[in-house]
Structure 1
Amino acid sequence: MEKLPPLNAMRAFEVAARAGSFTLAATELGVSSAAVSQQIRNLEDWFGKQLFMRNGNRIALTDAGHAIYPQKAHALGEIAAVGRRMLEGGLRTRLVVSVPFSLAELWLAPRLAVLLESFPQMAIDVRVEDDPIDVVRQNIDLRISYGDYHYPALKMVRLVHDDVLPVAAPEFCQRHGAADLADMHESHFIHTNWGPNYASHPSWADWFAAAGGNRAPDPSHGRRVGLSSLAIGAARLGLGIALGQRVMASPDLEAGRLIALSSVSVRLGQPYCAFMLPAKAERADIAGLVELLASNPREATHSAVVGD
């Protein structure tokens, strides 16, 4: 039998490399920083290589550490997965996905349904929450976020750079005719309040500017909602005209529940991105979901960029 490196030292190495700190690794492992440091020294002695460069409280992987980390992280992940399956008394894989509120129902759920066709025995845990989250401590397999800047230590995949366009229900259009949007009463516009953390989401003023106009409908005179998915839902119910995100509104547009009132659209300031631990990126269920989420990103023919 081949001689194996010490498992406890391997575990300390994987956590320290992922966390970028012996102190954070010690917290996760429930031991002292000195114990983590000693385990790393034991592993370095075993390999005969220096795995970390140490500069005070900061650490960084050496070339040898970079060469070893992916294999060790993957191996430990597989061992942990087997242990979880044994403890659960079955062979199911649990996929933990964290997503912002707006994306959960109209965008993520249909794609999870497709994923389950390939993995029918999979257990899925969808957590709806705003950034930032602690991917490691909350045991998140995949985090979906607006913007590519939230989690610089994780592997990032750009999924779709969405755009918005004016949409309304057929019934609304029948009641109010085919009047030009520039002539619509302000009470007919649905406004999305993105919240204080976002400055790059387009407004009705941005859309009118992209369409060659200068109108700026007053949100206080129209309908206001706190989620982009609610804006689409309100438009579907005939409550007004929304700037609907294309990736969320597409099913309603294709089914005829909503009508696009113009071909002009405005691009969001940031893309939607998927974040994951590097050690989990090759897992079949995670890779499959990322591929589904990144598929069919439809760009508008006429678009303007806001907030880039």
Structure 2
Amino acid sequence: MSNVEVLIEARDLCKYYPVKAKKIFEKNKKVRAVEKLNLSIRKGSTFGLVGESGCGKSTTGQMLSEIVSATQGEILYQDKPLREMNRMERAAVRKKIQMVFQDPYSSLNPKRTIEWTLEEPLKSCTKLGKKERKQKVQEILKIVGLDESYGQRYPGELSGGQRQRVSIAAALILDPEFVIADESVSALDVSVQAQILNLLQKLQKEKGLTYLFISHDLNVVQYMSDEIGVMYLGHLVELGDAQEVCSHPAHPYTKALLSAIPEVEGVRKERIVLEGEVPSPANVPEGCPFHTRCKEAQERCRKEYPAPRKVKEGHVVCCHNVAKV
């Protein structure tokens, strides 16, 4: 596994949003969306990022795609820091990184045909002629399982699953290497979800794509991913091989997420119910951010943030009680 080339890497990545004080003598605060995140994604693999809403997983994807800039830290693409690249090199990297968003309807122009939407990036980023662009659009529609006649339709004429296929086509039209799928199936029916997930896996095999798969659903992430990162309140609390993390979770938050997955058959597992609400990222608790909801929390957890600890090779957790949980 260590011999496989790393395509993209984040080192101590942070994203803070300033919040103005509402009172005269009150200090300005920061929303700590992502805090010192470290991860590397191997070429041709799928890295799953999971956590509750507001944990910072979407912000992480936006930073890796440079939709938003990081407050601190650096991003390396094929072992080269983005900040050291010149303007042309950086533009070339941006072209290789594309996103598939949660709501395909809001990411597609309702007043434009599908063909227009897919052709527009080709006009801006390639030197293809009109005939070649049209042929490319027809090819990409076929690849995502849609007839070329869909090119003349508008987003409002398509089902949710068809719109998501168009969104995937839009992400692939420039032949990227790295695709960030941000909650790309959460708005779809279960049967349609399965179709889109299978399509993403098929495209990965055919094109050698690398995925960052973002979802709040650990069951879906487990199905899709080679490696999994679990986020809580802007922190990456557990990281490792997908099967290892899901079979032997070390962090109490990961255990709670896994216990929420319904069992179809076999012995019914105990449901771990987390008490209380997720604290505000503008007021992150001191010490371990999870201690306010953790039944295993001790005095040390309330004062000191846990350093990453190796559970076994390739499996890391941030928890003081790692030997006990």
The structure that has the greater radius of gyration is 1
Determine if the TM-score, normalized by the shorter chain, exceeds 0.5: no
TM (norm. structure 2) is 0.24
TM (norm. structure 1) is 0.25
